[in-house]
Amino acid sequence: MAPQRRDSPRFGRVICAMVTPFDAEGALDLDGAAELARWLVACGNDGLVVAGTTGESPTLSHDEQIDLIAAVTDAVEVPVLAGAGSNDTAAAVELTERATSAGAAGILSVAPYYNRPPQAGLYDHFRAVCDATPLPVVIYDIPVRTGRKVDTATLLRLAQDTENMAGIKDAAGDPAETGRLIAAAPAGFEVYSGDDALTLPLLAVGAVGVIGVATHWTAAEHVEMFDAWGRGDLSAARAINAALGPSFDYETGLAAPNPIPTKALLRVLGRPAGRCRPPMDAEPPGLAEDAKATLATTRLGRELGFG
């Protein structure tokens, strides 16, 4: 893993929530995952998340998740955050222990989904995950998928009571509340945007980076936006963010939820992806043409002749 500058976020600024490539039969494509990971880093991503929601973790076995984490960590020198969440605390602890042994740089642990535990249960769950690894743990708060918000008070308590609760991937859709969390959090606590369209607003309240989906094909623009923000050129940052709008619109929707559109776009680019596993394998007609139109609005697409 390449060292980060001391003034850099722990895992970098632009982190790609990587899809999981499958072959034509739907089997895990580890060679394709390694190839895709190297390409994503070459495109400008500072780090990668593997076996997360975009990586179709609900359809991966635990053994597949660990094989994927090991393959990607071996392929790149940037930080790799391992998706190791579950709505079963014992399973999350086991996955966290195994991901640690597989070489991950950190753990991404999604809030327990569907069973909707109380805040006391969320605290105990994440405390057990933190206790299971010496690695930094990033909590993934995405109530639209999990059905339960991790309250600010719970996050602050975890940050204060553990040595390795390092921050959150924030997809809660409430930048004002995120600002309150950041203002009260201890030194070293980092917030990463987990909603591409809210990255710039979250930077305004103190976020340090993005764990993104569109960064599969817009890493260069994201780097430029962060650079502009860092030097105080807010006009340039807003302009780049506006230009990224078509990519944000494309990456998910009711007819084609994430990661269906991303895999379609990667296939257009000739990159390892395959199709999603059921039940996410149903693609609406015309998605490849939508992918080409989206690419035409991006630097990568224009360089490759789509624009």
List 113, 149, 169, 250, catalytic entry: 169
Quickly list DSSP for 15-62.
EEE----B-TTS-B-HHHHHHHHHHHHHTT-SEEEESSTTTTGGGS-H
Pick from 266, 287, 258, 272: nearest CA to 32: 272
SS3 state of residue 169: strand
Instruction: Report which of 112, 181, 107 is spatially closest to residue 145, judged by C-alpha positions.
Output: 112
Residue 199: its H or E element: helix 199-204
Active site residue 250: no
Q: How far apart are CA 210 and CA 101, in angstroms?
A: 26
Measure the N-to-C terminal CA separation of the chain; round to a whole number of Å.
35
Alpha carbon distance 233, 237 (integer Å)? 6
Q: Is 169 part of the annotated catalytic residue set?
A: yes
Among 41, 167, 46, CA closest to 108: 167
* Residue of 113, 123, 140, 192 with catalytic role: 140
Of 141, 28, 167, 21, give the one whose Cα is nearest residue 85: 141
Closest by CA position to 11, among listed 110, 151, 148, 107: 107
User: Where in the sequence numbering do the catalytic residues fall?
Assistant: 140, 169
